[in-house]
Amino acid sequence: MAFDELLAEAGWDGFANPYSKAVTEFSDRDDIIAISVGPREKDKQLHWSKIALRFYVRDKRSPERIEEAHVIPRNWHGVPTDVVGCTSSTHPTDSDYRRRRDRYDPLMPGVSIGVLRGYSGTLGMFVEHESAGRCILTADHVLAPRGNADRKPIYQPGLDDSAPDDRNVIGHVDSGLRREAACGVSLFQYNGSRRTHDIALGAHERLTGTRMPRVGETLWKSGRTTGVTAAQVVGYATETYDNCRPTIVLRAYDGNPECEISMGGDSGAIWYDPISHEAIGVHCGGDEDYDLTEEWAVAAALYDLEKALGIRI
């Protein structure tokens, strides 16, 4: 299903053309992290009656302090805009969730995996690939953070959480499977070295199937760094990160969560419906600061990827 259809489903189809023009116009701007469609924000509150083209920038400043050529217009091709100040990260940071960084047997979603030190992420879920058999789904940059990493061993726990040990290898990066990746999502063939458990650490049910995301719904995820957290779907984007599109934009409740909804090292975790247990998206990244009023995350939508990736969820 096309990104335009996602917008139409939410009743935001009038933003499709302005959004496309904005992506083209601003794609080379280093100060803009992301562009999405969603509710405007004022005083840390979302206003669902006021939908806007949202620009996530590294350093939000008043128009008077910005060069005229870099000012984002209040209105873009007939739709209002909203500027959100934030920083972004796909790198691991420290946390208290030490147990998720341990070695697990049986192996399960929600725990640490990685290829290189400095880029550990999360085991998202087990899937069945049409030719490779049992595989593990995660974010693509967890498997190849510096580009091509063909045949490099994948460790559980990742190398930020344990020294290299052949007994911890659970698979190898496969450029063939990575070429099938879409929207920043990738997979690798599991080597069968341990028993497996399909239910994510801290969750209660096995995930089955996937569907389109719904604006306003609450999703949960089980990640290496922040554990089980919940967030609300507040918008859609297509180029929030390189090779990560279309994406779901998530935000903590009313800008005042009890804890971080995500941090570096959560990449690869599956955002899911806690009631239907359907997989909705793969966590790609989010804010990197500790200000709980600035919590946001992005996830690659899974609803149309089973066929593209040749997998069954």
Domain chopping of the chain, boundaries: 1-85, 103-194
**Is a pLDDT exceeding 90 seen at residue 253?**
no
**Is a pLDDT exceeding 50 seen at residue 95?**
no
- Who has greater pLDDT, 65 or 218? 218
- Who has greater pLDDT, 33 or 281? 281
CATH class of 103-194: mainly beta
For helices 3-10 and 16-26, the axis angle rounded to 10 degrees is 130
Mean pLDDT score of the chain: 81
Q: What is the per-residue pLDDT for 31?
A: 76
What average pLDDT does range 37-48 have in this prediction? Answer: 79
Q: What is the per-residue pLDDT for 241?
A: 46
- Who has greater pLDDT, 289 or 310? 310
What share of the chain in percent tops pLDDT 70? 81
**Among 47, 74, 83, which residue's Cα sits nearest to residue 234?**
47
**Among 170, 169, 183, 161, which residue's Cα sits nearest to residue 237?**
183
Q: What is the per-residue pLDDT for 96?
A: 42
What average pLDDT does range 224-243 have in this prediction? Answer: 77
Q: What is the per-residue pLDDT for 199?
A: 92
The tokens for 304 are: 């149309």
**Is a pLDDT exceeding 50 seen at residue 136?**
yes
Q: What is the per-residue pLDDT for 302?
A: 87
- Who has greater pLDDT, 113 or 175? 113
- Centroid of chain to Cα 5: 20
- Who has greater pLDDT, 28 or 299? 299
**Is a pLDDT exceeding 80 seen at residue 243?**
no
Task: Kindly report which listed range (20-24, 48-52, 92-96, 279-283) carries the lowest average pLDDT score.
Answer: 92-96
Tens of pLDDT, residues 196-210 = 999 999 888 899 889
**Is a pLDDT exceeding 70 seen at residue 66?**
no
Q: What is d(CA 85, CA 59) in angstroms, rounded to the nearest whole number?
A: 6
**Is a pLDDT exceeding 80 seen at residue 91?**
no
Q: Which residues contact 176 (CB under 8 A, 6 or more apart)?
A: none
Q: What is d(CA 202, CA 163) in angstroms, rounded to the nearest whole number?
A: 25
